[in-house]
Amino acid sequence: MARITASVYTSHVPAIGAAMDLGKTHEPYWQNVFTGYEYGRQWIQDNPPDVVFLVYNDHATAFSLDFIPTFAIGTAAEYLVADEGFGPRPVPKVIGHPELSAHIAQSVIQQDFDLTIVNNMPVDHGLTVPLSLMYGARDPVKGAWPCPVIPFAVNVVQYPVPSGRRCYELGKAIRKAVESFDEDLNVQIWGTGGMSHQLQGPRAGLINKEWDNKFLDRLIDDPAGLADVGHIEYVREAGSEGIELVMWLIARGAMADAVGGPKPVVKHRFYHVPASNTAVGHLILEN
């Protein structure tokens, strides 16, 4: 049977991707960010997943305002790297896992979550920057990501967006789906986006270190309680784009303790300000 062995949480700041693509990672400003990912890069070499189920948000790249799925699961064999205005990032295309995707879609929809099934979806920085952070630079032509990735896009851009509670419950359903896939696969689930940031309006540049760290504390120790935090608190305390953090609750809901199992082991925790306009957070939990 397939199983979820770990969850990884990380910000997806586009400037981090640009720093890697333009060879700036050793500049002092960026060094402070990348140092926080050294542990994770070694850890993932030592604990390589067969498949990554990657929860992220599309930033009006694949989905325009014409139609906005709340939860969209990629079921394709591959996903091209999106052009977000400066040409596609120089990273490999993403290879999917259509069989596991289709199985998860079937199981999760039958558990009463209405997923949108997507067979053609270019993936933006929300998905590629976390891959770059964990796996390092990869040649876009000769290289490849080390394993298949299932993109799972959540609408956190256009209100109404899903609640933290809904996301946490969805994580439980995804766990159940993975565990009923009849193949011995090591699956990691990643929750991306955040942490506090606001890119627009009079509060642009907002960072809230205290709130972010409390979020990390509660994500580890009290995820069910954290799931009850409403949108207004995210927006007020973590800024308009801080709402991306609800996606971390999907990954957290897929851990064993959400359904009565043992608590996860905290392998790594990192928090740093600034990276572009954003507080960077990163966590690795093992089941």
Binding to ligand DHB (CB under 6 A): which residues in 93-132? none
Distance CA(60)–CA(63), nearest Å, equals 5
Q: How many residues in the shown chain lie near ligand DHB by CB under 6 A?
A: 11
Q: Is 235 in the site for ligand DHB (CB under 6 A)?
A: no
Q: Is position 197 annotated as part of the catalytic site?
A: yes
> Can residue 197 be called a binding residue for ligand DHB (CB under 6 A)?
yes
Q: Which residue among 277, 279, 283, 284 contacts ligand DHB (CB under 6 A)?
A: 277
| Residue 171 is a binding residue for ligand DHB (CB under 6 A) | no
Q: Which range, of 12-20, 73-81, 103-111, 224-232, touches ligand DHB by CB under 6 A? A: 12-20
Residue 264 CA to residue 256 CA, distance in Å, equals 7
On the 0-12 / 13-18 / 19+ scale of CB atoms within 10 A, 274 is: middle
**Burial per residue of 203-212, b for 16 or more beta-carbon CB atoms within 10 angstroms, e otherwise:** eeebbbeebb
Q: Count CA atoms within 13 Å of residue 268 on its CB side.
A: 22
Q: How far is the CB of 199 from ligand DHB (least distance, A)?
A: 6
Alpha-carbon span 40 to 65, nearest angstrom: 35
**Active-site pick, 197, 268, 272, 282:** 197
Residue 235's SS3 state is: helix
- Residue choice 50, 116, 276, 286 for contact with ligand DHB (CB under 6 A): 276
The answer to whether residue 199 forms part of the interface with ligand DHB (CB under 6 A) is yes
The burial of 176, by beta-carbon neighbours within 10 Å (0-12 exposed, 13-18 middle, 19 or more buried), is given as middle
Contacts of 51 (CB under 8 A, 6+ apart): 2, 97, 100, 147, 148, 149, 150, 185, 186, 187, 188
Do the Cβ atoms of 10 and 130 come closer than 8 Å? Answer: yes
Per the annotation, the verdict on 26 as an active-site residue is no
- Find how far residue 237's CA is from the centre of its chain: 21
Among 2, 6, 9, 12, binds ligand DHB (CB under 6 A): 12
The CA-based angle 183-185-188, given to 5 degrees, is 145
**Residue 14 binds to ligand DHB (criterion: CB under 6 A):** yes
**Residue 240 in the binding site for ligand DHB (CB under 6 A):** no
Q: Is there binding between residue 13 and ligand DHB (CB under 6 A)?
A: yes
Q: Which stretch binds ligand DHB (CB under 6 A): 72-80, 84-92, 106-114, 276-284?
A: 276-284
- Distance of closest approach, residue 13 Cβ to ligand DHB, in angstroms: 5
Using rule CB under 6 A, residue 59 touches ligand DHB: yes
The residues in 241-260 that bind ligand DHB, with binding defined as CB under 6 A, are 241
Q: How many CA atoms lie within 13 A of 187 on its CB side?
A: 30
Which range, of 6-14, 30-38, 245-253, 259-267, touches ligand DHB by CB under 6 A? 6-14
Cβ at position 217, least distance to ligand DHB in Å: 22
Contacting ligand DHB within 209-228 (CB under 6 A): none
Among residues 125, 268, 272, 282, the one annotated as catalytic is 125
What is the nearest approach in angstroms of ligand DHB to the Cβ of residue 193? 6
The Cα–Cα gap between 267 and 284 comes to: 5
- By annotation, the residues acting in catalysis are 125, 197
Positions in the binding site for ligand DHB (CB under 6 A): 12-15, 59, 197, 199, 241, 276-278
